[in-house]
Amino acid sequence: MASENSSSTLSFNTMVHMVTIKLSSTNFLLWRSQVIPLLQCQNLYGYVDGSTPMPSAATDLAGHNMWKQLDQLVMSLLLSSLTEEALSITIGFTTSRDVWNSLETTFSQKSKARELQIKDELHLMKRGSRSISEYSRIFKAHCDQLSAMGRPVEDTDKVHWYLRGLGHEFSTFSITQLSLTPIPSFKDIVPKAESFDLFSKSIDQNTGVPAYIANFSPASSHRSGNTNIYQHKYKGGPSRGGHRNKQNYRRPPRCQICREEGHYATDCNRRYIKPEATRYIKPDANLAEALTHCTIHDEPADWYTDTGASAHMTADASQLDKVEPYTGKDKVVVGNGSSLPITYTGSCSPTPHLQLNDVLVVPRLTKNLLSVSKLTRDYPLSVSFTDNDFIIQNLHNQRVVASGKRQAC
């Protein structure tokens, strides 16, 4: 037996250092994946699985003594790779097979529980506030642990779980990747997600649109220093805010209530006059001047497309499904600088083929606003404008899901 192993036998110290993982109650599969190949390459695995029986001392004393020597070597190797927790399980055993069986019986079920725990963590993992790189690294580490346990995750499942964990901000990216044939591999999807994240951040930095902005007033444009800020909103034609090359040019303010120039709505003496013929007029009425948009005509109410708003908004909660009270602190800022409270959130379908998610209920609005940026983030849709109308199309099959005409108020 010694002659068979003489050409490839490693020293005991070498073998001890090759087992880098110490066995504990949570890593039996990882530990076993290191120990078994080492024992097999040294022709020693038969001592732990019983395939190398002990010779009888009566018929082969030399073989019997050699077997005991090598068996104790294997046993010592096993014991040297245990934590104190695992070592206590082996007290009283005299052969390497007894030690191996006791460890397998004790820790295999715990390792199975660990395997299921890692799979659950993969299923439920969310990016949250982590960067794409950090999220990808943690996700891959969990997959690598399962692979080391001999339970590798299929690549399609990796991609599916990874994309699902990216969150709502990556919904358009995730839907697009899952619709591809074939679905990209996990090693390809990670750099794509990182590139998409960088591209999205560059757009956000260039636009600088605050959350829940329904419109921009000339005063807010001046404060931000962005002379092109009006071009975030589609007015059914060229933006009336316009891009001005003359730095000293200032357009006189125009009231959104009486529509006369020279003052803002907050200073209008007709601000609190309630017209008899208008049922829903509020103090900030006639925001129509700030909300001249293309509209989706569909019963029971029109929806105005808005490229400046970052959320869908309505004043009528009865139009929504699954309405929930809004408990946040955000408010909607409109063109005259007023902050309007948000009371509820929900979803609705202006057309049979178009559902709007996370719609804000803002009771003092006078128009239903459809946010173009929110819509294209939620779904693989494109919104095309012409001088007099617009269409919303599915990017995959080019199907028109909604259309509307320009309306000036």
pLDDT > 70: percent of the chain: 71
Whole-Å CA distances, 133 to 108, 136, 190: 33, 5, 8
pLDDT at 220: 35
Half-sphere exposure of 151 (CA within 13 A, CB side): 15
Helix (H) or strand (E) holding 114: helix 96-124
Please state which of the ranges 161-175, 217-231, 236-250 shows the lowest mean pLDDT: 217-231
Structure tokens given for 306: 């808005």
Most confident range, picked from 25-39, 88-102, 354-368, 388-402: 88-102
How much is the average pLDDT of 380-402?
Answer: 79
Amino acid 362 reads: V
Whether 227 contacts 250, CB under 8 Å: no
Higher pLDDT, 198 or 205: 198
CA distance 315 to 361: 5
How confident is residue 250, by pLDDT bands cut at 50, 70 and 90?
Answer: low
- When the pLDDT of each residue in the chain is averaged and rounded to a whole number, the result is 75
Burial class (CB in 10 A: 0-12, 13-18, 19+), 235: buried
Helix (H, G, I), strand (E, B) or coil at 394: strand
Closest C-alpha among 140, 128, 153 to residue 187: 140
Closest C-alpha among 120, 332, 99 to residue 213: 332
pLDDT greater than 70 at residue 289: no
How much is the average pLDDT of 255-276?
Answer: 62
Q: How many other C-beta atoms are found inside a 10 Å radius of the C-beta of residue 253?
A: 17
pLDDT at 339: 80
How confident is residue 228, by pLDDT bands cut at 50, 70 and 90?
Answer: very low
Beta bridge partners of 91: none
* Cis ω for the linkage preceding 300 (within 30 of 0): yes
pLDDT per residue as tens digits for the range 68-94: 999 999 999 999 999 998 899 899 999
Helix (H, G, I), strand (E, B) or coil at 233: coil
How much is the average pLDDT of 54-79?
Answer: 93
How much is the average pLDDT of 139-143?
Answer: 89
Higher pLDDT, 402 or 47: 47
